[in-house]
Chains A and B, each alone.
Chain A
Amino acid sequence: MDIKTKVTNLIVEELGVEIGEVTLEASFIEDLGADSLDTVELIMKFEEEFDIDIADDDAEGLTTVGKAIEYLEKQLS
């Protein structure tokens, strides 16, 4: 499974949204209905799934699906 698919699945699972809603431009808070706790949980999920540490400063920038995928791809390459 590639990173994009994994991330998409995690978002669907964590935020309880439809897979079609998880577009690259979708903002976690604006479009996918996440609150601040959800975003923290999501980052923790990413850390767990990909076995990495995401610094708080980096996490703050991961506001959309696309930004999260891009970040994770860079970290894992």
Chain B
Amino acid sequence: MKRLEDKVAIITGAARGIGFSIAEMLSKHGATSIIIDLNKEAVDAAVQQIDDLGNRAIGFIADVTNSDEVASIFKEIHKKFGKIDILINNAGITKDGLLMKMKESDWDAVMNVNLKGTFICTQKVCRYMMKSRSGVILNIASVVGIMGNAGQANYAASKGGIIALTKSSAKEFASRNIRVNAIAPGFIKTEMTDKLPQEVIDNYSDAIPLSRMGTAKDIANLCIFLASEEASYITGQTIQVDGGLIM
């Protein structure tokens, strides 16, 4: 039997990048991945790709910062499947810039999607998980949420916030057998990091003990473990997947 057989998993921001890898991997392990993202074509393509491998996925278009939208989609998912086992809060954006020159709108945008979106999705899913007395929530944070990063004050603050949100929700939901953990990726090769100058990439790689960038698969692998019963005694933790970047 597959490790996540018959599980229903919602992954936000899953049309591309790390989110897609997570969805692909969850489906490979038997789950039905529900891909949530903003762009319809991208969502359809992602679903198709998983479908082509003979695994299960469906897509929904939603903005995680819109609580009514999230609530109605989660309701629809719950109606269709009768349960929601796993939520992966992955949707995130960057609007980098030095703090001195950071526009308030860039601060707000990043906070809204990354931190508030995680809060909204957690709040809207927990009623279903509480009722069934089981559930797993995984929040994608970042090592910069732990160590900070020049030029990413908004992003780092949002990711640090996600770590604190993870701990608080783990405490609130523990009595209902809902586990909440955060994953802090280090330097992962994605479209987000492809935009960085080569010099920055080289500098980072030099600072990583395993001296290479990670892949989205490295994150997805941890998701499988944390979402499975094998991790049933782990909650409220932030686990770094960073090649040893910070210890």
Task: Check if A35 sits within 8 Å of B127, measured CB to CB.
Answer: no
CA–CA, A41 to B129, complex, Å? 12
Residues of the A chain whose Cβ atoms lie less than 8 Å from the Cβ of B131:
41
CA–CA, A35 to B176, complex, Å? 11
CA–CA, A37 to B127, complex, Å? 10
Interface size, A (range): under 10
CA–CA, A44 to B175, complex, Å? 18
In the complex, chain B residues 74-108 whose Cβ is within 8 Å of any chain A Cβ: none
* Chain B residue at minimum C-beta to C-beta distance from A14: B131
Q: Tell me if B38 counts as interface (CB < 8 A to partner A).
A: no
Q: Tell me if B172 counts as interface (CB < 8 A to partner A).
A: yes
In the complex, chain A residues 37-54 whose Cβ is within 8 Å of any chain B Cβ: 37, 41, 44
Q: How many of B's residues come within 8 Å of A, CB to CB?
A: 6
A17 to chain B, nearest CB (A): 17
CA–CA, A37 to B172, complex, Å? 8
A12 to chain B, nearest CB (A): 16
CA–CA, A41 to B176, complex, Å? 12
In the complex, chain A residues 9-57 whose Cβ is within 8 Å of any chain B Cβ: 35, 37, 41, 44
* Chain A residue at minimum C-beta to C-beta distance from B176: A37
Q: Tell me if B216 counts as interface (CB < 8 A to partner A).
A: no
* Chain A residue at minimum C-beta to C-beta distance from B130: A41
Task: Check if B172 sits within 8 Å of A44, measured CB to CB.
Answer: no
* Chain A residue at minimum C-beta to C-beta distance from B126: A37
Task: Check if B127 sits within 8 Å of A44, measured CB to CB.
Answer: yes
CA–CA, A41 to B173, complex, Å? 12
CA–CA, A35 to B175, complex, Å? 10
Residues of the B chain whose Cβ atoms lie less than 8 Å from the Cβ of A35:
175
CA–CA, A47 to B175, complex, Å? 23
A45 to chain B, nearest CB (A): 10
Residues of the A chain whose Cβ atoms lie less than 8 Å from the Cβ of B176:
37
CA–CA, A41 to B127, complex, Å? 8
B225 to chain A, nearest CB (A): 27
CA–CA, A44 to B71, complex, Å? 14
B178 to chain A, nearest CB (A): 10
A-B contact pairs, 9 of them (CB 8 A): A35-B175, A37-B130, A37-B172, A37-B175, A37-B176, A41-B127, A41-B130, A41-B131, A44-B127
B residues near A (Cβ < 8 Å) are 127, 130-131, 172, 175-176
Beyond A37-B172, A41-B131, A44-B127, 6 extra complex contacts between A and B, CB < 8 Å: A35-B175, A37-B130, A37-B175, A37-B176, A41-B127, A41-B130
Q: Which 5 A-B pairs have the closest CB atoms?
A: A41-B130, A44-B127, A37-B176, A37-B175, A35-B175
